[in-house]
Amino acid sequence: MQKINFNAGPAQLPPEVLHEAAQSVKQYKKTGMSVLELPHRGKEFLEILEESKTLVKKLCGIGHEYEVLWLQGGGRMQFCMIPMNFLLAGKNAGYIDSGHWSHEAAEYAMYYGNAQILASSQDSNYSRLPDWPQIPSDLAYLHVTTNNTICGTQWHSIPKTEVPLIADMSSDIFSAKTDYSRYPVFYAAVQKNLGAAGLALVVIRKDMLGKTPVILPPMLSYSMQAHENSILNTANVFGVYVSLLMLRWIDARGIDAIEKENIRKAALLYETIDNSTSFKAHVTEKAHRSLMNVCFTAVTTEVEQSFLAMCEKNNITGVKGHRSVGGLRVSLYNAVTYGQVEELVDLMKSV
Ligand SMILES: *Cc1c(COP(=O)(O)O)cnc(C)c1O
């Protein structure tokens, strides 16, 4: 029996997507081959790739001024590639440290060059967003993490800035309406809202490609990856295919409807926590709360343990907090239904 999966990533995928992916593992269309056997430079995969790129641009409301890349190495590889491509000698990059991932992104950049943390909420255990700092106008780029997966905060709006904004959208891409054209570069590890682990979606404005240094090994260069249409080496054919199925699923629903549902799911869960005597929200500032990852604690470790055991008994999994912070966390990505949140909330009320 399929469990209700509230894990933060790899996350729940819609049953329709799993079904179609499973069919295609047996045979892709009428090719007589599994999707796992498709040549990465063959007609079928090129069609998968083209449709995925078209759908990403459609869903983001952006045009041919952007390139869409599917790169291996997940989110962290992007923590490396961004400074390698854009943090050149003599330049500074700014990082907004609103959570564990943003912190790690800044640390990775420090291997390559002059990366500065301009604002941090680490001293509050990332239970709130930092105040937006003064942004030096000569930065090579400013890096933000739009949703903080581990501690459950989210930037619901990001102040205007003159410097190029680079965003890690791993845990909230396509979850709500947003102006993607503000970001010359944005990226997402796909295992949260967008598919099977092992890939990152990277969307990059073409003028940024001109800034990448020629001395980089091609695999690590955005301009070379764009030049080679993300198939510089053997592509992750299956990963891109599953992401395409997710993109079709998102497109069929529409971002407006997805956003409404995400707001409804999060409201139900936060309301339950706020009205409960057994649980307490990690993020008290309501305007900072994430719609995607809801972090909370139980009043005692006994209550936490018994609640986790209750969840498992009721076929609900993925409610334990990240290993670095403990407590409880429920991820409400697009594939999670309102009905599943209702089931969880009923259990919480019975604690
Ligand atoms: C999950 C996550 C990552 C890391 O992804 P990996 O693919 O495991 O490297 C990076 N940033 C954010 C915001 C995430 O949620």
Preceding omega of 184 cis (within 30 degrees of 0): no
Q: Which residues are catalytic?
A: 101, 168, 192
Whether 157 maps to a domain, the answer reads yes
Ligand 1 mean position, distance from CA 170 (Å) = 6
| Residue 131 phi, psi (nearest 5) | -65, 145
Q: Compute φ and ψ for 199, nearest 5 degrees.
A: -135, 160
In sign, the C-alpha dihedral spanning 231, 232, 234, 239 is negative
Let me know whether 242 and 263 are in one domain. no
Task: Name which residue sits closest to atom 12 of ligand 1, judged by CA.
Answer: 170
Query: Is the same domain home to 79 and 138?
Result: yes
Determine how β-strand 199-205 pairs with β-strand 66-72: antiparallel
Using the Cα atoms of residue 215, residue 219, residue 225 and residue 229 in order, give the sign of their dihedral.
Answer: positive
Name, in order, each residue with C-beta under 8 angstroms of 107's C-beta and a sequence gap of 6 or more: none
Please check whether residues 133 and 214 belong to one and the same domain: yes
pLDDT band, residue 115 (cuts 50/70/90): very high
174 and 77 fall within a common domain: yes
| Tokens matching residue 253 | 């629903």
Same domain, 195 and 259: no
Per-residue pLDDT reduced to its tens digit, 224-272: 999 999 999 999 999 999 999 999 999 999 999 999 999 999 999 999 9
219 and 262 in a single domain? The answer is no
CATH of the domain at 225: 3.40.640.10
Residue 189 CB–ligand 1 contact under 6 Å: yes
- The number of the ligand 1 atom at minimal distance from the alpha carbon of 149 is 15
Q: What is the CATH number of the domain that holds 318?
A: 3.90.1150.10
Asked whether residue 343 falls in the same domain as residue 264, the answer is yes
Decide if 105 is inside a domain: yes
User: Structural domain tally of the chain?
Assistant: 2
Asked which of 93-107, 209-223, 327-341 is least confident by mean pLDDT, the reply is: 209-223
pTM for the model stands at 0.97
Task: Give residue 96's pLDDT.
Answer: 98
> What pLDDT does 211 receive?
87
Structure confidence at residue 262 (pLDDT): 98
- pLDDT at 213 > cutoff 90: no
277 falls within a domain: yes
Are residues 205 and 287 located together in one domain of the fold?
Answer: no
Band of pLDDT at residue 283, cut at 50, 70 and 90:
very high
Residue 5 lies in a domain: no
Tell whether ligand 1 has an atom less than 6 A from the beta carbon of residue 168.
yes
- Tell me: do 237 and 297 sit in the same domain: no
Residue 10 falls inside a structural domain: no
Q: Do 219 and 270 lie in a common domain?
A: no
Q: Which residues, at least 6 apart from 258, have a Cβ–Cβ distance to it below 8 Å?
A: 174, 175, 176, 250, 334
Q: Is residue 66 part of a domain?
A: yes
The range of the structural domain enclosing residue 287 comes to 254-350
Say whether both 244 and 263 belong to one domain. Answer: no
* Domain co-membership, 232 together with 111: yes
User: 253, 276, 301: which is the final residue of a domain?
Assistant: 253
pLDDT tens string 319-329: 999 888 889 99
Pick the closest to residue 241 from 55, 5, 98, 90 (CA basis): 55
pLDDT-based confidence at residue 215 (cuts at 50, 70, 90): confident
Cα 295 to Cα 326: distance, rounded to the nearest angstrom:
10
Burial of 286 (0-12, 13-18, 19+ CB in 10 A): exposed
Nearest 5°: the CA angle 51, 54, 57 is 150
Structure confidence at residue 2 (pLDDT): 84
**Rounded to an integer, what distance in angstroms lies between the CA atom of residue 193 and that of residue 147?**
12
